[in-house]
């Protein structure tokens, strides 16, 4: 396991164990499709968006349904009659009977999340490039009635859950919390500065609804190599509560600038990341340790997970993806 760094005197070690992937199953595969987004409503309806033979496709409970008329890249939901779909220049809301389509005059939507009464989007966020001079940026908007308002943030936000946001500020991993009217930075332990020129970021966060435990994933990187500019790095795992945080630094899986997190409904969280040509793998944060494992192979072993969603209160999790050539669309499900 990695090294532990905590903001309190007592540190609970996160033990690493091998995880059986038997409960993750490929529940749908279409070799002509590729899937980009998934959301699960509180009522259990599973919506999946992507393309099939180059045209937009939308699934509800794994069956094709009428979409909003454009390629959907992100999904979010608050109920069976409040499902949002975001494209490049348009977005739409499903009201239970039809899609209500409106123009989207803002930036690229990288994350969309319905949290309580708030619908949030993170747009135009930068992904770590591995090049010198990279800077973290993002824009956050909140739907206020029928108006999308840009919301100031004290950090560059990359992921949201509950009232919590993960990201970075001035090249250092950071967290923020929504007060109901504004985002405010929350102190976390310093990331160990054991390398010259080290930078770090948290890419996503998950909050357990019952215990309030917060879990975040990120990376730390530093210049290395002499032939050409390059970066070495490690994975960061942050867990705990305000004022009582634990940092874990892991050599594997290394720098994962697109890692996603979702609560597992049992006090932990699923962390999903790209296994670099070998599909996708996961870290499962548990109350007393961390399990590592891989997704069952789809017919194409290069198919990777692009989005992850959980049904609140159930522990069931859904993942969707495809291959770089936009084929072999796959849907995985975990049912405890």
pLDDT at 277 (0 to 100): 67
Range with the lowest mean pLDDT among 111-115, 192-196, 258-262, 293-297?
A: 192-196
Identify whether the C-beta of residue 186 lies closer than 8 Å to the C-beta of residue 169. Answer: no
| Contacts for 247 with CB less than 8 Å, ≥ 6 apart | 4, 5, 6, 7, 188, 189, 191, 192, 236, 237, 238
Strand 289-294 versus strand 15-18 pairing type: parallel
Residue 230 CB: number of other CB atoms within 10 A?
Answer: 13
Which pLDDT does position 129 carry in this prediction? 85
DSSP codes, 269-328: EEEEEE-SSS-EEEEEEETTEEEEEEPPPPSSTT-EEEEEEE-TTT--EEEEEE-TTS--
CATH class held by domain 3-53+108-334: mainly beta
β-bridge pairing 147-150 and 317-322:
unpaired
| DSSP symbol at 117 | T
Q: Taking 90 as the threshold, does the pLDDT of residue 209 lie above it?
A: no
The mean pLDDT of 260-269, rounded to a whole number, is 92
Interatomic CA distance for residues 304 and 281, integer angstroms: 9
Closest by CA to 245, choosing from 195, 205, 197, is 205
Q: Residue 150 has what pLDDT?
A: 97
Spatial separation of the C-alpha atoms in residues 86 and 112, rounded to whole Å: 8
Domain ranges of the chain: 3-53+108-334
As a whole number, mean pLDDT of residues 299-320 equals 86
Higher-confidence residue of 40 and 315: namely: 40
Nearest alpha carbon to residue 155 among 183, 127, 123: 183
Q: Do residues 308 and 331 make contact, with C-beta atoms less than 8 angstroms apart?
A: no
Distance CA 219, CA 205 (A): 13
Cβ–Cβ contacts within 10 Å for residue 184, how many? 13
Cα(77)–Cα(153) distance, integer angstroms: 23
User: Of 12-16, 52-56, 195-199, 228-232, which one has max mean pLDDT?
Assistant: 52-56
User: What is the CB-side half-sphere exposure of residue 205 using CA atoms within 13 A?
Assistant: 29
Q: What is the largest CA-CA distance in the chain?
A: 60
> What's residue 334's pLDDT?
93
- In this structure, the number of other CB atoms found within 10 A of the CB of residue 196 comes to 8
Q: Tell me the chain's radius of gyration from C-alpha atoms.
A: 19
pLDDT computed for residue 229 by the predictor: 62
What rounded mean pLDDT belongs to the chain? 89
| DSSP letter assigned to residue 261 | E
pLDDT above 50: residue 10: no
pLDDT of residue 299: 76
Look at residue 22 in the predicted model and tell me its pLDDT: 46
**Please, how many CA atoms are within 13 Å of residue 314, restricted to the half-sphere of its CB?**
16
């Amino acid at each position: 396991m990695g090294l532990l760094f905590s903001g309190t005197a007592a540190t609970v070690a996160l033990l690493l164990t091998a995880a059986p992937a038997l409960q993750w199953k490929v529940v749908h595969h279409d070799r002509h499709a590729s899937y980009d987004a998934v959301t699960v409503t509180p009522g259990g309806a599973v919506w999946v968006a992507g393309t099939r033979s180059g045209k937009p496709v939308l699934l509800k409970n794994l069956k094709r349904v009428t979409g909003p008329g454009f390629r959907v890249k992100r999904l979010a939901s608050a109920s069976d009659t409040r499902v949002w779909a975001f494209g490049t220049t348009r977005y739409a809301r499903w009201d239970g009977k039809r899609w209500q389509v409106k123009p989207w005059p803002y930036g690229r939507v990288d994350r969309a999340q319905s949290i309580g009464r708030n619908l949030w989007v993170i747009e135009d966020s930068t992904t770590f490039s591995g090049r010198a001079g990279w800077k973290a940026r993002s824009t956050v908007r909140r739907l206020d009635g029928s108006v999308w308002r840009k919301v100031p943030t004290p950090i560059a936000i990359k992921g949201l859950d509950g009232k919590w946001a993960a990201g970075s500020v001035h090249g250092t991993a950071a967290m923020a919390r929504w007060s109901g009217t504004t985002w405010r930075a929350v102190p976390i332990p310093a990331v160990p500065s054991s390398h010259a020129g080290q930078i770090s970021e948290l890419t996503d966060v998950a909050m357990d609804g019952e215990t309030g435990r917060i879990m975040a994933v990120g990376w730390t990187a530093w210049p290395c190599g002499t032939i050409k500019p390059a970066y070495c790095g490690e994975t960061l795992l942050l867990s705990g509560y305000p004022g009582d945080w634990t940092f874990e630094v892991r050599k594997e899986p290394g720098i994962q600038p697109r890692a996603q997190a979702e609560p597992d409904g049992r006090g932990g969280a699923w962390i999903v990341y790209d296994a670099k040509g070998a599909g996708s793998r996961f870290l499962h944060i548990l109350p007393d340790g961390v399990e590592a494992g891989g997704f069952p192979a789809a017919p194409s072993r290069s198919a990777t997970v692009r989005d992850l969603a959980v049904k609140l209160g159930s522990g069931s999790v859904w993942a969707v993806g495809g291959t770089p050539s936009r084929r072999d669309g796959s849907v995985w499900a975990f049912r405890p």
